[in-house]
Amino acid sequence: VCPTGALDVRDEVDRALDMLADPEIVTIFQLAPATRVTLPEVLGLAPGENFEGRMVAALKGLGADFVMDTRWSADVTILEEGTELIERLERQKAAGTLATHPDTMFTSCCPGWINHAEKSAPDILEHVSSTRSPQAIFSALAKTWLPQSLGIDPARIRVISIMPCTAKKDEALRPQLLREGEARPDTDLVLTVRELARLFERGGVDAASLEPVPFDTPFMTQASGAAQLFATTGGVMEAALRTVAALTGGKAPANLVFEPVRGLANTKEATLETERFGVLRVAVVYGIRHVGPLIDMVRNGTSPYHFIEVMACPGGCIGGGGTAQGRWRTNLPVRQQTVYRIDEELPVRSSHENPDVVRLYENFLKKPGSHKAHELLHCGYTDRHKEKTPPTFAKLEAEVTLT
Ligand code: SF4
C-alpha cells in the first residue's frame, strides 16, 4: 500500500481502463460543462478551444459504449431548482414577506460548497436547494430512464464522470444519493480532467490529433447554452434567471445575457423584475471565504436576496482543482470567454426549451418537482459540524496535493 495515497489516483485511471476492457460492462461517460474548455491546457495546448468533439472521439477510441453530456442534466437541474425556487417564492408571497424578508435559497450543485455548509454552517442547510447536482442527476437517470429507454440491463451499466474537481468524487459517494435498495452509487467512477489526460496517455490516444465526433444517441446529450454556463461563476444563476424569467413573466434581456452576473468578480448581484413576484434580488459568489458575509445575512434575517449561487473554486468550475493549474490566472478569462461563446453558438439557449429535457418529463418524470423527480433528483443534507476531517474527503484532499 502506498503510504502517501498517491497510488489511489492511478488506481482510478486503472479502474476506468478495466471497465472499458470488460465486455460485460456498458460504459457511459458523462462530460461536465467545464471539462471541454479546460482539457486543452492539460494537454499542453492553448486555452480557447471547445474540445468536446475530440473528447468524444478519444473516449470512443478507447472503447466507451456511450459518451454523453452532463450539460443535459444541468438543464434538468435548472427545471428542478427553478421549480423549487418558484415554490419558495409563492410561500413568501402568501406570507407577505417576499419583499421585506426574503427566504433566501442557495444553489446546491457545488460539492465543495455543500461540504462547507454541512461542516461549518449546518444551521443554514434549510436554505440550500434540495436539487441534486448535474452529475448526480445524470447518473440517477442513466441507471433508470436510460436503460428503460434503450433496453439495457441496468446492472451492466457503469457511469464514469469526467469532472473538474476531486470534490465530485466525494459527492459521488454521498449516502444521500443512494437509491433505495441499491448498494452501488449511481456514479460508479469520477475522473478529473487531469486523470482523463492520463487515461488518454495510458490508452495510447492522442486526443488533439483526432477529428471531432458528436455525442452518442439522442438521449441525454442535447443541451442548451444555459447548461454550458454552469462551467463558470454566475452561470448557474444566469441559467436559472433565463428559465425563471420565462415562467414568471420576467423581463429577460433580448439576447438572454444577464451581464451583472457575468465576469470574474468574486461577488456579484443582480435583479430580475417579474410580473408574478415583483423584483427578485440575487447574488453570486465564489471562494468559500467570500460566502461568509452572505451566510451571516441569512442567519440574522437581513439577507435581501431571494437566490444565491455559490461555487467553491475561483471563477467556478473553470478554475476547479482537477483542471490545469499552471497559467491559471492568465488563462481563466479565456476559459470563461470560451464558455460564453459556446452558449451563444448553441441553437437552444434556455433549459426549459431543451427538447430532450421536455421529453424526459413527458415520458418519465411527468413534471418538474413531481414525486418521481423528488425521489431521483433531490436529496437531503447532514449536519457534519463535529466531523472536522471526514475520512473520505481528507483522503481526496491529499490526492489533490499529490497529483
Ligand atoms: Fe468542483 Fe470547484 Fe466546480 Fe465546486 S466550483 S463543483 S468544487 S470545480
ipTM of this complex > 0.85?
Answer: yes
Tell me, in angstroms, the distance from the centre of ligand 1 to residue 93's CA: 33
Tell me, in angstroms, the distance from the centre of ligand 1 to residue 149's CA: 31
| Whole-number pLDDT of residue 167 | 96
Nearest-atom number in ligand 1 for the CA of 164 is 8
Residues 6+ positions from 204 with CB-CB distance below 8 Å: none
Q: Averaged over 157-183, what is the pLDDT?
A: 95
Tell me, in angstroms, the distance from the centre of ligand 1 to residue 369's CA: 25
- Give nearest CA residue, ligand 1 atom 1: 165
Tell me, in angstroms, the distance from the centre of ligand 1 to residue 192's CA: 11
Confidence of residue 361 (pLDDT cuts 50, 70, 90): very high
Total structural domains within the chain: 1
Confidence of residue 326 (pLDDT cuts 50, 70, 90): low
User: Which of 6-10, 16-20, 160-164, 321-325 is the least confident region?
Assistant: 6-10
Instruction: Determine, yes or no, domain membership for 1.
Output: no
- DSSP codes, 248-317: HTB---TT---GGG-SS-SEEEEEEEETTTEEEEEEEEESHHHHHHHHHHHHTT----SEEEEESSTTGG
Mean pLDDT of the chain: 92
| Whole-number pLDDT of residue 389 | 54
Q: Averaged over 32-60, what is the pLDDT?
A: 96
- Give nearest CA residue, ligand 1 atom 4: 110
Instruction: Determine, yes or no, domain membership for 348.
Output: yes
Q: Which residues of 111-130 are buried (b: 16+ CB within 10 A; e: fewer)?
A: bbbbbbbbbebeebbebbbb
**CA neighbours closer than 13 Å in the CB half-sphere of residue 78:** 34
| Cell numbers at 239, concatenated | 441559467
| Whole-number pLDDT of residue 1 | 34
Sort 276 into a burial class: Cβ within 10 Å, 0-12 / 13-18 / 19+. middle
- Distance in angstroms between the alpha carbons of the first and the last residue of the chain: 17
Q: Residue 17: pLDDT above 50?
A: yes
Instruction: Determine, yes or no, domain membership for 77.
Output: yes
**CA neighbours closer than 13 Å in the CB half-sphere of residue 381:** 29
Instruction: Determine, yes or no, domain membership for 245.
Output: yes
Domain that residue 55 falls in: 6-402
Instruction: Determine, yes or no, domain membership for 54.
Output: yes
Longest dimension (CA), the chain: 62
* Distance separating alpha carbons of residues 343 and 360, to the nearest angstrom: 22
**Pocket around ligand 1: residues whose beta carbon is below 6 Å from it?**
110-112, 164-165, 167-168, 311-313, 316-317, 320
User: Which of 29-33, 293-297, 324-328 is the least confident region?
Assistant: 324-328
What CATH number should be reported for the domain holding residue 391?
A: 3.40.50.1780
Give residue-wise pLDDT tens across range 221-276. Answer: 999 999 999 999 999 999 999 999 999 999 999 999 999 999 999 999 999 999 99
